[in-house]
Copies of this chain bind each other. A is one copy, B any other.
Amino acid sequence: MHFGFGMEIEAVAVDIDGTLTDKRRSLNCKAVEALRKLKIPVVLATGNISCFARTAAKLIGVSDIVICENGGVVRFEYDGEDIILGNKEKCYRALKALEKKFDIVLLDDSYRKAEICLRRTFRKEDAEEILENYGVKIIDSGFAYHIIDENVSKGKALRFIAERIGVDVKSFVAIGDSENDIELFEVAGIGVAVANAHLKLKEVADVVTSKPDGEGVVEALEFLGLI
């Protein structure tokens, strides 16, 4: 379809936690049913592990193409392979530096292939100072901290996917709520922040919905004429 932004919308990339789910991390059923109505591919983009993302894609009933670990891993098929875009070794070196200073609790580490996920047991700013020269960044998803290869982002992963499936990355609409969605908005044609989104994401968004999380997703899809 053709949209006022002067572009054809050919695909949707949507974050999961805080965007399709509420604070308890339960799916918003209205958003699920709205996504199922779309005639264009829907790519889920999450900071969570590939096993979470592939399950979510299957249960929600959208394409099996997923961005996981904040862009460190992508996957094209439910029974396919993880494609690893981030360097976890760099993250481990950074972790060692953090362990000297803070009590660290790792989350899902055996499942993570490109990044390290930690409980939020310290101030992010304090960690950033320590991590300056490790080639990594620290992301606060609102649910956990992620130590991630600085060369990795949801945006770069979306570009990788767009090339692979032969869709112009600028014809994607991206919908999200967190700081880790900023790079997604930068590469997509349109960025939609839901009402509960982080202020920094709202600043770079083309559209900010009036409703939060899943209700905001439905609002956005209606506003864009996609449903």
A positions within 8 Å CB-CB of B: 21, 24-27, 29, 32-33, 36, 49, 51-52, 55-56, 58-61, 79, 107, 111
Contacts and interface: CB of A to CB of B under 8 A. Distances in A.
Nearest to A29: B29
Nearest to A61: B26
A60 B27 contact: yes
A36 B29 CA distance: 11
Contacts of A58: 25-26
A103 to B, nearest CB: 16
Contact of A27 (B25, B61, B79): B61
Given A51-B52, A52-B51, A26 B60 contact: yes
Given A27-B27, A27-B32, A55-B55, 5 more contacts: A24-B61, A26-B59, A26-B61, A27-B59, A55-B56
Contact of A107 (B29, B61, B79): B79
Contacts of A26: 36, 58-61
Nearest to A55: B55
